[in-house]
Amino acid sequence: PAAPIDPASAVPAAPTGPPGTVPAGPPGAVPLGGAGRAAPADPAAIRWLVGLAVFGPLAFTDPEEITLVLANTRDVPFWVAAATGAGLAVAVLLAVAYGVLLGRGRRPSRRVAGVTAAALLVAVGVVAVAAQPGLHGERLFVVLREQADLGAVPAATGRAGRDARAGEVYRRLVATAERTQADLRRDLRRLRLGHTPYYLVNAVEVDGGPAVRAWLSSRPEVARVLVSQRVRPLPAPAGQSRGTAPAPAGPEWNVRMLGADRVWSQLGVDGAGIVLGSSDSGVDGGHPALAGGFRGGDDSWHDPWDGTRAPTDQGGHGTHTLGSAVGRGGIGVAPGARWVGCVNLDRNLGNPAYYLDCLQFMLAPFPTGGDPFTDGRPARAPEILTNSWGCPAIEGCDPGVLRPATAALEAAGILVVAAAGNTGPYCGSIDDPPAPYADVLTVGAVDRQRRVTSFSSRGPVPGAAKPDLVAPGDEVLSAMPGGGYAALSGTSMATPQVAGVVALMWSANPALVGDLSRTRRILAETATPAVPTYASPTRTCGGDRNVTGAGLVDAYAAVRAARG
């Protein structure tokens, strides 16, 4: 600290010597006046410099990729931490340099510090606005006002009736999209804006930023424009998720709880003749529990992310969920059913367009590289769809964006089974499409004691009673990529088991195929009680029905009722 100044001697004597010289003083003293005076340091400017160096790299990360969804993975959080560490290193260098300057009796001028901080702020702002670093590769999902009228589609049942319904729905959807999108697609081609049209929801995904979004929103045929999020490529490939548990010696606890093993042994039904569609992270088509059930052909696999031509899975989630539905060796509810697959998740993230890519493929499968509008084969559609995913707002979905898609699948006689979500025990937590939709069979999770798990999402849901049913979802053993097995928890694990029960029902009585209302009624009437759980005694979510649904699905009772 500087020595106190004597007020009597605070004002120096008038300088002597030639004009322009600096008066002498004690060694190390800094002149206080005149043209040679050094500008005082500005602490605020220094804080700006250091703060920008530390937090500036965070402007180049995707906010949707560093959420709790990815808390247990190494990929994006690792690189975000690396970027932050690099910023901190730069800040340390700045601090050291500043210390060296002070040690030499020099202080950076306020003007230099201010200009540098302003330049850094402008650079970050330009990159954030022009290059959208936190919104890598974004596209715009344009939903049109007019959606196809499917109200008069004949409600035929049985396999032939279902195929006829799917064909009629496909024809109407494509005709509506071609007619109403014509002007928009012509203008997009004229402006050289890349775009992908859809028909299951009458929509177009378009390249573009804020200016393009404003132009699209002003068009009379457009209902709304959403941001279709894209995940940023990783600097290094993500590793494949694998399981370390051995194959089970017999039917797993969840299969026995549902009575599916009794359906196989006592009723002679295993799901044969039914095809189930899985939209998820993918499927390890070579896994011993799943390889024999793949339908095959050129229209049983679709990967809009990477264009793979054969079933594959990096994340493991899709392999696990499909194993619980149709896996062999004691892990699947309907091991005799066949399956087709589509990739709608990458690193556990999706967007409206990729979710729609897969739902559209399930209505009318098409060959690899084919055009969904002209090459779709609705007669090859799977009878049941299992969907262990949800599309929250952070991925670009609004509450109604996928509503036309599930309505079209319902009209086609295809049953959509979806996970309730893992945001329990809070009431009203079934909120991410497609789980809240009335035409979707929504599934919650229970543990080995038939208690609803704390993570299982609950109702109430406006306009619908949700969940519809519950199934085992706590520490469920199933397949993982590479041939191994692992126990995972979530409503994702419960959902495919209900899809498997429906496969058993329709296998036992093919006349029930496509009869969605009767199928739902049988499932509800044959369900057994489950134990509700609550966040607190006062948070009962409006009653047990909004926690347990109709109850725990009973495969044995449901198949017997389906036969009767």
Q: Return the active site residues.
A: 280, 317, 492
- Neighbour tally for 118: CB within 10 Å: 12
Q: Which of 453, 451, 448, 390 is nearest to 416 (CA)?
A: 390
Measured between alpha carbons, how far is 256 from 317 in angstroms, rounded to an integer? 22
Query: DSSP string spanning 296-307?
Result: -STTSEE-TTT-
| Short-list 524, 458, 453, 465, CA closest to 493 | 453
SS3 for 358-381, per residue? HHHHHHCCCCCCCCHHHHCCHHHC
CA distance 483 to 460: 40
How deeply is 255 buried, as exposed, middle or buried, from its count of CB atoms within 10 A (0-12, 13-18, 19+)?
buried
User: What is the distance of C-alpha 209 from the center of its chain?
Assistant: 22
Residue 181 has, within 13 A of its CA and on its CB side, a CA count of 26
> Per the omega criterion (within 30 degrees of 0), is the bond before 434 cis?
yes
> In sequence order, which ranges of 268-393 are alpha helices (DSSP H)?
317-326, 352-363, 372-375
Helix, strand, coil distribution of the chain in percent, nearest 5: 40, 15, 45
